[in-house]
Chains A and B, each alone.
Chain A
Amino acid sequence: MSFLLRRLGFYLLAFWASITLNFLLPRLMPGDPVTRMLSRSQQRLEPQQVEALRTLMGVDGGPIIPEYFAYLGRILTGDFGMSISRFPTPVSEVIASQLPWTLLLGLTSLIIAVILGNLLGILAAWRRGGFLDSIAPPLLVFIGSFPYFWLAMGALYIFGISMGVAPMRHAFSVGLVPGFNLVFILDVAAHLILPALTIVLVSLGGWMLGMRNTMIATNSEDYILMAEAKGLRPHRIMLNYAARNAMLPSVTSMGMSIGFIVGGALLTEVVFAYPGVGYQLLGAVQGLDYPLMQGMFLTITAAVLIANFLVDLVYVRLDPRVRKG
């Protein structure tokens, strides 16, 4: 328990640090960010928009401490201000409509990549020098060297544009009414395949190599030798003894890589015009929608922290050593 409480405290601290960074960033930059923004912005802004920006950026020059607490209060109640590019929709509303798609894409590809990568790693380490151990690592490292979005562009070009077998954009076909029915679910799945596939392909190598290397280290542990001496069947030693232990570092690193995968998912969304946070992020960047960018940063950070906490919960189930103290 105390392990989980400690982790929870740490996540809260990390979130607080992110909010504070968000608060300080526009205030620490030289010059007046609002004026700079107005000069860079192509479209004309309404006076209310400018006003909303000024409060957010703290250009009004009020005392910083009370302003900071006011800001904290607003964020914690989910008030991220007004979106500029979609004025006057509140930022939280914009994000809420997009977050589910990002979660769907991110989680699907994360789960597939983790399971597949770890399985490949286990098998490669179990048969050192075999086919899987020789071919897969360099190949996957090569694929993993491509930027997410570039592989997405390639996939879209080959399957969407040249072959015409994959949907080109969005998360479901135009004209389809979202609902919980088979037609819609299949359509969503069809739109999910390519973006998820590119994320899986790019991240697979990391998972596989990580698992393979820890498995190789685990294989020289004494309890593996003892299991062999006990005359247990090889697959049982592989799964219950070696993989079960080698999994632990893999789970730990999962927390760290969630943030990374999210980044990849955001960029992939841009390419596929997938209506998640990432696609909206592009819009926010182009429209210089600072409140939206900040809101996205905080939302994604919160999501990553929650995901990390979930990973911790899994870890506690897997490693008896952290359960007490």
Chain B
Amino acid sequence: MSVPVLEVQELTVEYVSDERAVRGADRVSFTIHAGEIFGLAGESGCGKSTIANSIMRLLKDPARITHGKILFDGKDVLGMDEAELRAWRWNNVAMVFQSAMNSLNPVTRIGEQFVDVIRTHRGGTRATAMQRAEELLKMVRIDPARLRAYPHQLSGGQRQRIVIAMACALNPRLLILDEPTTALDVVVQQEILEQIRDLQNELGFAILFITHDMSLMLELSNRIGIMYGGRIVELAPSRILHHDSRHPYTQALLGAFPPLHGPKVKLTGLAEGVKFTNVQDLEDHGDGHWVAPTDQPVLSQGEAL
């Protein structure tokens, strides 16, 4: 096995207010290896974005990390001071946000935003930074002349590709994609995923891919973790997860999306009123398949509720 790029151990994030603390993520553990695509899936509010943002330590007050470790190449991310963190961000881990549409500064030209990040980390002249930006744009098949454009002059798909190009600017070891295609239509979604795959082949970074769309997830990821209520309920290589899911929540999630290819299947979901409380730690089911024990009935695939 290759070296892990990212190790998340028992990560717990709490949103603390005067009256109470809400756990956004609860003892979440997973590793991502070099060049691997790891997916995190689950419904809205299950804590997948909390995980993504806490890896880069971008969460704001009242959120705080109350337990666990984040190791990047063996280095403790939670122990870094501000300057170390700044130097580490984007250089090693870059992120494409949920609404990458709005992640570009609306009042500055695209080119400037490339120059900004390249010169902050790598120094050099404006001209060399611009040159690098042109290369990057070509990589995502956008006319380098667009560097002179403002974000509003570009389509949603173009903006998304530019953000992805920007994420590749410093050759990071890990790319976090937080719902990178949610705001886009299906055709553009496919193009973007294609592009991400190409770039990954070329540059060899690992990916943490976050989505609620199971069909996209199965298509792209090598391994997948399913989150529910801040916990991981099932973790497995995607092929195993697809055909041999053991947790009823995973099965419901798989049943709630039509497959992109193959015959028509009746959609299923979780039955009315079904909730999982007090999710236990994962148990080893062999072949890298981990499942949280549950007393809810396990369904066979495709069964209607």
In the complex, are there CB atoms of A and B closer than 8 Å? yes
Q: Residues of A at under 8 Å CB distance from B?
A: 221-223, 225-233, 236, 240-241, 244-245, 248, 318-321
Residues of A close to B107: CB separation below 8 A: 244-245, 248, 318-320
What's the minimum C-beta distance from A130 to chain B, rounded to whole angstroms? 13
Q: Is the CB of A227 within 8 A of B120?
A: no
Q: A222-B97, A320-B152 are in contact. Are A231 and B103 (CB under 8 A)?
A: no
Q: Is the CB of A229 within 8 A of B94?
A: yes
**Can you name 20 extra interface pairs (CB under 8 A) apart from A230-B117, A245-B106, A319-B107?**
A221-B102, A222-B97, A222-B99, A222-B103, A223-B102, A223-B104, A225-B53, A225-B58, A226-B163, A229-B90, A229-B94, A229-B95, A230-B120, A231-B86, A231-B121, A233-B86, A244-B105, A248-B107, A320-B107, A321-B152
Nearest A-chain residue to B118, judged by Cβ:
A230
What's the minimum C-beta distance from A3 to chain B, rounded to whole angstroms? 14
Our count of residue pairs bridging A and B at CB distance below 8 angstroms stands at 75
Q: Is the CB of B106 within 8 A of A223?
A: yes
Q: Is the CB of A225 within 8 A of B89?
A: no
**For the complex of A and B, 4 pairs with smallest distance between CB atoms:** A231-B89, A226-B103, A320-B150, A222-B102
Q: Residues of B at under 8 Å CB distance from A?
A: 53, 56, 58, 85-91, 94-95, 97-100, 102-108, 116-117, 120-121, 150, 152, 163, 166
Residues of B close to A228: CB separation below 8 A: 58, 89
Q: Is the CB of B150 within 8 A of A229?
A: no
Q: Is the CB of B108 within 8 A of A240?
A: yes
Q: A223-B105, A321-B106 are in contact. Are A232 and B150 (CB under 8 A)?
A: no
A-B contact pairs, 23 of them (CB 8 A): A222-B98, A222-B99, A223-B106, A226-B95, A226-B103, A226-B104, A228-B89, A229-B89, A229-B90, A229-B97, A230-B89, A230-B90, A231-B85, A231-B86, A231-B117, A232-B116, A233-B86, A244-B107, A245-B105, A245-B106, A245-B107, A320-B106, A320-B152
Nearest A-chain residue to B96, judged by Cβ:
A226
For B87, B99, B107, B150, the residue with the greatest tally of chain A CB atoms inside 10 Å of its CB is B107
Residues of A close to B163: CB separation below 8 A: 226
Give the CA-CA distance A222 to B98 in the complex, in Å. 9
What's the minimum C-beta distance from A29 to chain B, rounded to whole angstroms? 50
